[in-house]
């Protein structure tokens, strides 16, 4: 049988066709626009997601035996607010995960409702990108739209609805809404009341590998796929990527260098750090995970290459970088504000340490190192909980850079395992679809059978020591400048 994984990203939808034994048959990507109506705002049209997904599935399956396509599932950008009216029509463009308009609402939740209450209700505190602050923003600023809300959904769940007709979500993605009781895996009545919404406006919750329905007849006919093709709930992009990299079970780690950057630690037991610096979410394997998320990771490098120095030769620019661990230029990678561990939507990207001797290569190096240093900030929180991590998987567009992987290994001083397929959320989605169809008894079994490590980047003691010194200096920069950010906006 064949399985489709749909990775609904921020810039494109990536679709992957996988055979039942985990071999990738074909990959298709379809881009769509993103709009920034005001500084710090970020929106997309869900209709564009659906249009490009339909195009992509048709292209993906044009050369295969379509009758063998047994399941579809998803990994998707998290936290985005999709609101539908009573006719299931989109009310307004989706407000995305990297949108920073909700400072007022986030402060209200954290300071008036209180972080302790939020953590009690949801195991997390409010971040500007989370869904609950967005709902409060719509309630305050677009009351006519708020009054029309019949269903509240997440981005990938809109695709699941369009395919199956079922309003659904999964525990991993819903964990990032600040509306779910993560420990008990149910909607939080207290949080729904705070946001002024009712449980019937929320989708039904499933495990990521559970079947929510099958293809609607008209959709099956349009796509040329069998009506009994199962739609599995899927997962948030980071949980799906973790499945795709085999980061399931207890004590496993994955670092993702995508548009955003994450460090993801899987656990069979529910847990939360006392400062809520890391997110405590449900995992796609049926258990839990801790996650640190930075809003700009590989997108920092893309911004630097595309917009500032104006080149598409990413590898060529990295090739000009000299000795590692000796750069005196530092970069704070907060181009869209920051989430973990600082939770500051006003934070901004910052170069510091420039001199007349500084070169273009020094600044390129600082951008790459800044992202790795920021990931280590969350890594330090995990270590403070007594979690011992000696190695990590890695995925995302940035993971294709040998230099960046070397930096990660030495800045965190851990082994970095490279897997045969770095397809991330799309691969995880296809694996979840296979589990939903009974090809594997569990997500862990699927990961054990499909995910293969092909290389390991080892930290070098001398270089790791130099980077230890550099990290200690980097860690002093944000506290020194954080009060300036709100003044210069």
Quick one: angle between helices 461-488 and 402-412, nearest 10?
90
Q: Note the pLDDT of residue 232.
A: 98
Q: How far apart are CA 215 and CA 230, in angstroms?
A: 7
Per-residue model confidence (pLDDT) at position 97: 92
Which CATH code for domain 246-421+459-489? 3.30.420.40
Tell me whether residue 363 is annotated as binding: no
Fold matches, 2-238 and 246-421+459-489: yes
Distance of CA 359 to the CA centre of its chain: 33
18 is in an annotated binding site: no
Domains of the chain by residue range: 2-238, 246-421+459-489
Cis ω on the peptide bond leading into residue 341 (within 30° of 0)? yes
Q: pLDDT at position 128, please?
A: 87
**pLDDT value at position 385?**
82
> Who's near 408: CB < 8 A, 6+ residues apart?
255, 257, 372, 375, 392, 394, 416, 457
Tell me, what's the pLDDT at 395?
87
Separation CA 49–CA 164 (nearest Å): 16
Alpha-carbon gap, residue 141 to 133, rounded angstroms: 12
Closest CA to 341 of 290, 292, 408, 299: 292
22 SS3 class = coil
Band of the pLDDT at 275, cuts 50, 70, 90? confident
Contact 69, 16 (CB under 8 A): no
Catalytic residue annotation = 237
In the predicted model, is pLDDT for residue 422 greater than 80? Answer: no
- Determine the topology of domain 2-238 in CATH: Nucleotidyltransferase; domain 5 (3.30.420)
Give the model confidence (pLDDT) of 223-268 as tens digits: 999 999 999 999 999 899 999 999 998 889 999 898 889 999 998 8
User: Which ranges in 165-313 belong to alpha helices (H)?
Assistant: 171-174, 189-195, 217-223, 237-244, 298-302
pTM over 0.75: yes
DSSP 401-446: -HHHHHHHHHHHTSEEEEES---HHHHHHHHHHHHHTTSSSSHHHH
């Amino acid at each position: 049988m064949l399985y489709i994984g749909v990775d609904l990203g921020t810039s494109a939808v990536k679709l992957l066709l996988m055979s039942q034994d985990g071999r990738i048959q074909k990959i298709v990507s379809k881009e769509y626009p993103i709009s920034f109506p005001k500084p710090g705002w970020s929106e997309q049209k869900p209709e564009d997601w659906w249009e490009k997904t339909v195009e992509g599935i048709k292209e993906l399956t044009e050369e295969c035996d379509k009758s063998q396509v047994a399941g579809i599932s998803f990994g998707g950008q998290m936290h985005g607010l999709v609101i539908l009216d009573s006719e299931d029509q989109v009310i307004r463009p989706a407000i995305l995960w990297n949108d920073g308009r909700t400072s007022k609402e986030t402060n209200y939740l954290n300071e008036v409702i209180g972080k302790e209450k939020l953590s009690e209700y949801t195991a997390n505190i409010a971040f500007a990108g989370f869904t609950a602050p967005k709902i409060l923003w719509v309630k305050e600023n677009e009351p006519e739209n708020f009054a029309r809300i019949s269903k509240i959904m997440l981005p990938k769940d809109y695709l699941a609805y369009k395919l199956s007709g079922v309003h659904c979500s999964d525990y991993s993605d819903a964990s990032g809404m600040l509306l779910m009781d993560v420990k008990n895996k149910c909607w939080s009545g207290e949080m729904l009341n705070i946001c002024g919404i009712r449980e019937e406006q929320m989708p039904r919750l499933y495990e990521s590998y559970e079947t929510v329905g099958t293809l609607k007849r008209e959709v099956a006919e349009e796509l040329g796929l069998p009506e009994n093709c199962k739609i599995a709930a899927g997962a948030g992009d980071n949980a799906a990527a973790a499945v795709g990299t085999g980061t399931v079970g207890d004590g496993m780690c994955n670092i993702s260098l995508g548009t955003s950057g994450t460090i993801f630690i899987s656990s069979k037991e529910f847990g939360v750090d006392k400062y809520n610096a890391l997110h405590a979410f449900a995992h796609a394997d049926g258990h839990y995970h801790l996650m640190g998320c930075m809003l700009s990771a590989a997108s920092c490098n893309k911004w630097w290459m595309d917009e500032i120095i104006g080149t598409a030769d990413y590898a060529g620019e990295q090739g000009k970088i000299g000795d590692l661990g000796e750069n005196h230029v530092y970069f704070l990678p907060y181009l869209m504000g920051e989430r973990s561990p600082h939770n500051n939507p006003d934070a901004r990207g910052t170069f510091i340490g420039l001199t007349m001797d500084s070169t273009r290569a020094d600044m390129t190096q600082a951008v790459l190192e800044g992202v790795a240093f920021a990931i280590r900030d969350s890594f330090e929180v995990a270590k403070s909980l007594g979690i011992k991590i000696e190695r990590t998987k890695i995925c995302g567009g940035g993971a294709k850079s040998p230099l960046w992987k070397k930096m990660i290994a030495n800045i965190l001083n851990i082994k970095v395992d490279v897997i045969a397929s770095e397809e991330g959320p799309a691969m995880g989605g296809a694996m979840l679809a296979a589990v939903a169809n009974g090809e594997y008894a569990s997500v862990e079994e699927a990961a054990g059978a499909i995910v293969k490590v092909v290389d390991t980047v080892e930290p070098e003691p001398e270089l790791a020591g130099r980077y230890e010194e550099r990290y200690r200096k980097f860690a002093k920069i944000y506290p020194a400048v954080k009060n300036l950010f709100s003044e210069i906006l």
